[in-house]
């Protein structure tokens, strides 16, 4: 079964610090990697995404770093804000069957 793994399971940072969320995968047929954030009692919302042709994707305070050789990604949130407190999911699309597989999530808490 295809897997996407996320670490850590939970993370607490102070306001203004950089939070780093990790994601790894096994299947080389994954060709697109969106990240979602989910606030309590809401559905996941698309945050940022990257394709393996790039090793970096930036959108404001959110940056994905991608290492294709090691099959690893990380989401960096700079100048973390309390409003960034949410669960973050890394997902991967299989180019063969177009399934999106999700990791178990990282719960981020930003303390003011």
Partner 1 sequence: GGIITQTPKFLIGQEGQKLTLKCQQNFNHDTMYWYRQDSGKGLRLIYYSITENDLQKGDLSEGYDASREKKSSFSLTVTSAQKNEMAVFLCASSPGTGGNQAPLFGEGTRLSVL
Binding flag, residue 111, partner 1 (CB under 8 A): no
CB 99 → partner 1: shortest distance, Å? 6
Nearer to partner 1, 19 or 37 (CB): 37
Backbone CA torsion sign across 57, 27, 8, 67: negative
Binding track over 11-40 against partner 1, x by CB under 8 A: ---------------------x-x-x----
Is residue 91 a contact residue for partner 1 (CB under 8 A)? yes
Q: What is the DSSP string of 58-98?
A: EETTEEEEEETTTTEEEEEESS--GGG-EEEEEEEEETTT-
Backbone angles phi, psi at 99, to 5 degrees: -75, 145
Of the residues 22, 49, 61, 65, which one makes contact with partner 1 according to CB under 8 A: 49
């Amino acid at each position: 079964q295809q897997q996407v793994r996320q670490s850590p399971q939970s993370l607490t940072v102070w306001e203004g610090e950089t939070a780093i969320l990790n994601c790894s995968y096994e299947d080389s047929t994954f060709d697109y990697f969106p990240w979602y954030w989910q606030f309590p009692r809401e559905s996941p919302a698309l945050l940022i995404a990257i394709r393996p042709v790039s090793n970096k994707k930036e959108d404001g305070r959110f940056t994905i770093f991608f290492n294709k050789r090691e099959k690893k990604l990380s989401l960096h949130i700079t100048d973390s804000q309390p409003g960034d407190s949410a669960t973050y999911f890394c997902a991967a699309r299989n180019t063969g069957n177009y399934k999106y597989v999700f990791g178990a999530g990282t719960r981020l808490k930003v303390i003011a």
